[in-house]
C-alpha cells in the first residue's frame, strides 16, 4: 500500500527541494542580518525560493523518470513557469503594497495618538501588520529554480 508512495522519486525529490530551500533561508538571512530567525523556515519570500525549488525539481524529476518528451514533463514545466512568474509578479507586488499600507496605518495611528493625547496603547501597537514579504526578487526565483534542478539531479543519481 505505501510502497508506491515511498518509491515515488518525483514526490520525494520535490519535498526534499522545498524543505532544504526553506532551511537554507535561515543561514542566508543570518549572513544579512546577523540574527538567527528560525521563522524563515515557514516564511514565504526570501532566498532561495522554496516554491521555485519545489516545482523545478518536480519537473526535472518527471523529465528524468519519464522522459523530457512526456506529457507529464510538459505539464510540470508549465506549472513551474506559472509558479515562478507568480512569485516574482503578483505576490511580489502584493508584498510591496502591504509595505505601503503598513506605513499608512502607522502614520494614521500616530496622528490619532497625537490628536487624542491618549495614554493607553496606540492603535499602531494594537494593530496587526500585513505581511510584507510575500513574493520574491527575480534572483531568488532563479536561485530556487536552479537549486531545485540540482536536488532532482542529485536524487536521481542517488535513487537510480
Compute the distance between CA of residue 47 and CA of residue 33 in angstroms, rounded to an integer: 13
Is residue 36 predicted with pLDDT exceeding 80?
yes
Percent of the chain past pLDDT 70, that is, above it, reads 80
- Do residues 142 and 56 touch, judged by C-beta distance below 8 A? no
Q: What is the pLDDT of residue 106?
A: 79
Average pLDDT on 148-153 reads 90
Domain ranges for the chain, please list them: 3-89+137-159, 90-134
DSSP 121-149: --HHHHS-PPP---S--HHHHHHHHHHHH
Q: What is the pLDDT of residue 117?
A: 62
Dump pLDDT digits (tens) for 58-97: 999 999 999 999 999 999 999 999 988 887 776 667 767 7
Dump pLDDT digits (tens) for 123-142: 555 566 656 555 677 888 88
Q: Distances from the Cα of 52 to the Cαs of 20, 107, 120, 138, in angstroms?
A: 12, 36, 45, 11
Amino acid at each position: 500500500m505505501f510502497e508506491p508512495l515511498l518509491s515515488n522519486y518525483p514526490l520525494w525529490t520535490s519535498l526534499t527541494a522545498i524543505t532544504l530551500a526553506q532551511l537554507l533561508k535561515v543561514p542566508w538571512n543570518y549572513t544579512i542580518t546577523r540574527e538567527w530567525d528560525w521563522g524563515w523556515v515557514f516564511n514565504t519570500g526570501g532566498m532561495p525560493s522554496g516554491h521555485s525549488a519545489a516545482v523545478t525539481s518536480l519537473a526535472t524529476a518527471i523529465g528524468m523518470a519519464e522522459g523530457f518528451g512526456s506529457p507529464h514533463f510538459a505539464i510540470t514545466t508549465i506549472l513551474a513557469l506559472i509558479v515562478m512568474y507568480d512569485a516574482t509578479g503578483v505576490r511580489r507586488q502584493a508584498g510591496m503594497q502591504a509595505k505601503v499600507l503598513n506605513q499608512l496605518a502607522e502614520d494614521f495611528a500616530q496622528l490619532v495618538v497625537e490628536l487624542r493625547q491618549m495614554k493607553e496603547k496606540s492603535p499602531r501597537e494594537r494593530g496587526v501588520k500585513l505581511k510584507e514579504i510575500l513574493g520574491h526578487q527575480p534572483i531568488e526565483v532563479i536561485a530556487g529554480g536552479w537549486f531545485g534542478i540540482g536536488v532532482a539531479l542529485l536524487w536521481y543519481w542517488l535513487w537510480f
